[in-house]
Amino acid sequence: MGRPVDLLIIKPGDKKKVYGGLSASMSAIEPPIWTALMAAYLSEKGRSVRIIDVEAEDIGPDEAARRSMEFEPSIIGFFVTGSNLSASTWHMTGAREYIAAFRKLRPKARTFLWGLHPSALPERTLREEGTEFVVEGEGFLTISSMLDALAGDRAARLEGIPGLWSRDGGAARPAKAPLLKDLDVLPSPSWDLLPMDRYRSHNWQCFGGLSKRQPYGVIYSSFGCPFNCSFCNLKVLFGGPGVRYRSPARVLEDLDVLVKDYGVRNIKVLDECFVLDKKHVTEICDLIIARGYDLNIWAYARIDTVDAQLLAKLKRAGFHWLCYGIESGSKNILQGVSKRGFDRKRIEDTIRMTKEAGISIIANFMFGLPDDDLDTMKDTLELAKELNCEYTNFYATMAYPGSDIYEQALKDKVRLPRIWRGYSAYSEESLPLPTLHLKAEQVLEFRDKAFVEFHSNPAYLAMIEKKFGRETADYMRGVVKHVLKREILAQPEQ
């Protein structure tokens, strides 16, 4: 047994139940960058940190608890994160199982929860999940102060730390922790603490080479988002709308580590909207191009933030995929969720321009937005078919904790998922929001049929085969044969 560590981070997961039968081949296994960033930040301050990523290592709650014994940590942090904003809520059901196992084996251990979901519901999380503390917000300053207090044996001072919710404090709201003003103070993530050979990209990112999904890496170039879409909960992590940037030079330092030290080619830029500030994006692209890297990168963009010149630059730098949140085929629906300015012509022009640049597209659509009815959802599906992007995600609208529509759902006493895993689009317990015109069951049933209808459409499969080859087209034919088991639809899984 080595020297006791100051902090042991557990990255709990629930992938097999969140994704059902699709977890084995469809879902990505993403390096948990928040755990690695936190470890690097604290290490620079002289703190010792270790990480157990139970999803990547495929270990259950009891084994994770046993593994923790070798580290003898001063405190154990459960970091509930995932490959997108909603994943923090999905994984809360699994996190509870890991916390329970740790409490059983180590009843005196000090523990806390951190993540987007705990930040959205800190008081409820503290009350229900069994940890001593909850960290609200991005966590760097709060967790650092917590470790300082523990190291100095000044536990009584824990109550006064901004952003730290404590049972001893009677769940009184603490002062909000200040944000890091300069993201360049963050060192490159401590990837050496993670099993980097275990991570894999999304299936679509490697269309044309599905056997080459590993290794996989992620980077940030900014925190936050300037927009305030009603279905998004990002603001609870970063204190509201707004963007802070990491300098292009520091972004490339992070990228260099992944490429040179870990041989990573498949990369995701985690920014909520990477293609936002043209100067920032251009400088990053120029630095990548100068290095001569052969990368396969994907990132989020917006219909209204790209132009032909920028798309050409992105392609040269290795951005072979961009994800657009189109959401709906109805202008009235888009206006209702703060997506104003996304008219059909602009959408069509941007998709055409992106394809002409040689960049593949992940198109995101949502069914069940507040004003949706069957006709508007059909319009959305028809738009998706018209655009015929290389991959299309169809989501059923969920009221994620921390979003405006979650607060509205509580006020309206709308039925919400019975367990946190029910916020996953793919889980058996999935329960989307009803609309003004449709029941939740109608929305979910439409979503599932739309996914199959789109990805088995002859025009889609012909495009995929022409661009990526027969193997990829056959792979997608297999994906659509899987029928998700749905509790509210009483469908058997096949």
Residue 398 confidence (pLDDT): 93
Same domain, yes or no, for 327 and 437? yes
Residue 332 confidence (pLDDT): 67
Cα dihedral 201→207→210→216 (10° resolution): -20
For the chain, list residues with pLDDT below 70: 1-2, 14-26, 83, 85, 153-156, 169-172, 331-342, 491-494
Which residue, 108, 143, 166, sits at the end of a domain?
Answer: 166
Same domain, yes or no, for 467 and 319? yes
What are the C-alpha distances in Å from 459 to residues 230, 470, 478?
34, 14, 17
* pTM, to two decimals: 0.92
Same domain, yes or no, for 332 and 464? yes
Residue 370 confidence (pLDDT): 87
Q: Is residue 490 part of a domain?
A: no
Same domain, yes or no, for 143 and 276? no
Q: Is residue 30 part of a domain?
A: yes
Q: Among 28, 34, 9, which Cα is nearest to 238's? A: 34
How far apart are alpha carbons 312 and 308 in whole angstroms?
6
Same domain, yes or no, for 275 and 318? yes
Same domain, yes or no, for 351 and 463? yes
Which residue, 120, 143, 166, sits at the end of a domain?
Answer: 166
Under 8 Å between Cβ of 344 and 331: yes
Residue with tokens 């990491």: 246
Q: Is residue 385 part of a domain?
A: yes
Same domain, yes or no, for 147 and 214? no
How many structural domains are present in the chain? 2
Under 8 Å between Cβ of 269 and 298: yes
Residue 36 confidence (pLDDT): 98
Q: Residue 64 belongs to a domain with what CATH number? A: 3.40.50.2300
Q: Is residue 22 part of a domain?
A: yes
Residue 13 confidence (pLDDT): 79
pLDDT tens figures, 192-225 = 999 999 999 999 999 999 999 999 999 999 999 8
Please give, one letter per residue, the 3-state secondary structure of 404-456: HHHHHHHHCCCCCCCCHHHHCCCCCCCCCCCCCCCCHHHHHHHHHHHHHHHHC
Q: Is residue 416 part of a domain?
A: no
Same domain, yes or no, for 110 and 159? yes
Q: Residue 334 belongs to a domain with what CATH number? A: 3.80.30.20
Same domain, yes or no, for 336 and 230? yes
Cβ neighbours of residue 238 under 8 Å, at least 6 residues apart? 137, 138, 179, 223, 224
Which residue, 145, 166, 187, sits at the end of a domain?
Answer: 166
pLDDT tens figures, 2-53 = 578 999 999 997 665 555 555 455 678 999 999 999 999 999 999 999 999 9
How far apart are alpha carbons 398 and 38 in whole angstroms?
29
Q: Is residue 403 part of a domain?
A: no
Q: Is residue 335 part of a domain?
A: yes
Same domain, yes or no, for 206 and 157? no
Same domain, yes or no, for 229 and 108? no
Q: Which residues pair with 244 in a beta bridge?
A: 223
Q: How many CB atoms lie within 10 A of CB 227?
A: 17
Same domain, yes or no, for 134 and 90? yes
Q: Is residue 188 part of a domain?
A: no
The residue range of the domain holding 271 is: 200-397+432-479
Residue 342 confidence (pLDDT): 67
Q: Is the dihedral of CA 456, 459, 463, 466 positive or negative?
A: positive
Residue 322 region by backbone torsions, left for phi larger than 0, else alpha for psi between -120 and 50, else beta: beta
